[in-house]
Structure formats: C-alpha cells, structure tokens
Amino acid sequence: MRLFPSRIKHFFSQEENERIVASIRQAEQATSGEIRVYIESHCRFVDPLDRAAELFFGLKMEKTEQRNGVLLYIALKDRQLAIFGDEGIHQKVGTAFWNREVGHMLNAFNAAHFTDGIVNIVTEVGKALHEHFPYDATTDRNELPDEIVFGK
C-alpha cells in the first residue's frame, strides 16, 4: 500500500502529534499488542469499518505474532471513525468493547477534543491489550511502527 503525504498531516500541531505517538508508546510498554493510528481526509467506503479493515491488512497488521494488533481509523472531513482489532484481541474483548470505545471517541470529537479523544482511546485499548496480552520482557518486541499514518 502506498501512502502519500498530504495536508491532513498538518491537522495536528507538532505537540499534539507527539502526544498521540507518546500515548501509543506508553500503551505498548505494558503489552505485546500493537496499536496504530491512521488518519485521512475522506473514507472511500460507506462503512468506515470496511475501510479500517482494508488499511489494517494493507499495513500488514495481521502479521503480529499473537494477532493482537489494533487500528484506530479516522476520516476527518467525512467525520467517520472505526477501531479494527485483529482476531486475537477481538476474541478477548468482543464487539461491545469496540463499540463502546468508538462511542467515547465520538463524544470527544463532537466536543472538538480530537487529540484528547485519540489519546484516551489509545490508553483504553492499551489497558485491554495489557489485560489479555501482558508485556513479557524476554519475548516482546515492537512489531509495528508507533508513528501516526497519514493518508490522503
């Protein structure tokens, strides 16, 4: 999958971008799970969950050893979002967890607290990953980049 830099990358200030990346790194310190954030302007699908799934597999997030990757997908201009968890974590937390977390993020976004909403969801997903896939210093490694992925 080829990703192009765009103006959407400048939606967040440098400090906000760093806060989001720091929240990913902090969450991953307690788990073998992996969290990625993907932000683009428009969702090319009617259902953002379908787009999140396409991106999840395009970013090869299913390649994590324990199938415990989670993608937070946001289409800013279309005001759509989704959370896609791989089969390992999805089997542990279920659909109700993802729906609840999307609801929390929508509440934050509706109040124009975009960075806080993302940081809070990353933290909550990190807690769920920690509960079901705790960090093991002898075997764990960072399998995926922590930086935000900016699409078109």
CB-CB contact of 105 with 118 (8 Å)? yes
CB-CB contact of 97 with 128 (8 Å)? yes
**Farthest CA pair distance, the chain:** 43
CB-CB contact of 70 with 90 (8 Å)? no
pTM: 0.91
Name the residue type at position 112.
A
For domain 7-150, give the CATH number.
Answer: 3.10.310.50
Cα–Cα distance for residue pair 116/81, rounded to 1 Å = 15
Which pair of tokens denotes residue 146? 């922590």
CA distances from 38 to 73, 92, 127, 146 (A): 5, 23, 20, 11
Q: Where are the domains of the chain?
A: 7-150
What is the residue-level pLDDT of the chain in tens, covering all 152 positions? 334 344 566 788 999 999 999 999 999 999 999 999 999 999 978 899 999 999 999 999 999 999 999 999 999 888 899 999 999 999 999 999 999 999 999 999 999 999 999 999 999 999 999 999 999 888 888 999 999 999 98
Beta-bridge partner residues of 81: 74
